[in-house]
Amino acid sequence: MHELAISEGIVESICEAVPEGKVLSVTIEIGQLTGVVPDAVHFCFDACTRGTRLEGARLDVVDVPGRGRCGSCQREQDMSELITRCACGNPFLEVLRGQELRIRSVEVN
């Protein structure tokens, strides 16, 4: 359940970055290749925000699709999983996108 630590990280970062006001909503990006389950983050977020300025805030998750480049044939392609084999046979793609775990913005009152 690393999603609990991720939710704690969200709350902690926002409390530091936005020193006052009630947080109404939070938008985060979760890359498809991070292994982080957005639904579990939602679940933990509700628990972690209790008793903080984020209590009751809405969590919007932007899913960032995976994208990689083959080191052998240089072709860029979508990656829905960390293990994606290139059509040329190379089993390793260099990940270009999809490993994001970012807080994009917050809406504060």
Partner 1 sequence: MCATCGCSGTIALDLDTGLAAHAHEHEHEHEHAHGHDHAHEHAHEHGHGHAHALEQAHEHAHDHENGPPYVLDHRHMHEDGTAARTVQLEQEILGKNRLLAERNRGWLESREIFAVNLMSSPGSGKTTLLERSIRDLATQLTVSVVEGDQETRLDAERIRGAGARVVQINTGTGCHLDAQMLGRALHELQPEARSLLFVENVGNLVCPALFDLGEAARVVIASTTEGEDKPLKYPHMFRAADLVVLNKVDLLPHLTFDVERFVAHVRLVNGTAGILHVSATRGDGLAEWYRWLTARPARNAG
- Nearest distance, CB of residue 76 and partner 1, angstroms: 18
C-beta of 24 vs 76, nearer to partner 1: 24
Backbone region of residue 21 per phi and psi (left: phi > 0; alpha: psi in -120 to 50; beta: other values):
left
- Nearest distance, CB of residue 74 and partner 1, angstroms: 17
79 Cβ partners below 8 Å, 6+ apart?
32, 33, 66, 67, 68, 93, 95, 98
Q: Is the dihedral of CA 56, 4, 30, 100 positive or negative?
A: positive
66 is a site residue for partner 1 (CB under 8 A): no
87 is a site residue for partner 1 (CB under 8 A): no
15 Cβ partners below 8 Å, 6+ apart?
52, 53, 54
Q: Compose the 3-42 pattern: x for residues touching partner 1 by CB under 8 A, - for all others.
A: -xxx-xxxxxxxx-xx---x-xx--x-----xxx-xx--x
Report the interface residues with partner 1, using CB under 8 A: 1-2, 4-6, 8-15, 17-18, 22, 24-25, 28, 34-36, 38-39, 42-44, 46-53, 55-56, 58, 60-63, 81-83, 91-92, 101-109
